[in-house]
Amino acid sequence: MTRKILDDPKELFRRWYKVPLKILGDFTIVPRGDGGWIALAISCLLFERYVSVKYKLENKKLRIKDEDIYAQLVVDFGTDKNTAKKFWDNVRNGLLHMGMPKQKGGPIWEIYDEMPPFKLNDEKSRIYINVWKFRDRVIEILDNNPHYLTDGDYPWGHIWSEH
């Protein structure tokens, strides 16, 4: 029996992220959309990885700032800078640091099933989040730009497969 190393970032992305993220949105497996918070948190970290690698490759920028994230959210999600900032500050930072979007000092959040992936109400006091549309857009970006998966500072692991 021979062992082969699987280290293709696109295939590892598919196996480690894309497939599990899709399963989290399958209500027959994870009822009521209860996998949404995990899907949203992981999609945020994948978006951040994408922006980080994109800026390294295109701008020769070794470290991104929050402003870079906001700018890329504007481009990739067709939103405005204020909405991008509120989404990232309240949702991403809340989920990845405290397990829930932040509400104190910012807009309160609400899950909804309409387009777009996130938006502010007219009064800017509530942010609406479509978890699955956000997840789908992040997956689409990385599927269409697999070169943004590779980061020399944070390389993909590998899998030993047996043949």
Tell me if 39 sits within 8 A of 135, measured CB to CB.
Answer: yes
Give the list of residues 6+ apart from residue 139 with CB closer than 8 angstroms, or none.
17, 18, 21, 43
Closest CA to 92 of 131, 143, 61: 131
pLDDT in tens, the chain (163 residues): 677 888 889 999 999 999 999 999 999 999 998 999 999 999 999 999 999 999 999 988 888 999 999 999 999 999 999 999 999 998 888 888 888 888 888 888 888 888 799 999 888 888 999 999 999 999 999 999 999 998 888 888 888 876 5
- Of 109, 112, 53, nearest to 86 (Cα)? 109
Sequential DSSP letters for 109-152? EEE-SSSSSEEE-TTSSEEEE-HHHHHHHHHHHHHH-GGGG--T
3-state secondary structure 89-106: HHHHHHHHHHCCCCCCCC
- For position 20, what pLDDT does the model report? 97
pTM: 0.90
For 90-114, the pLDDT digits (tens) are 888 888 888 888 888 888 888 888 8
Domain ranges of the chain: 37-150
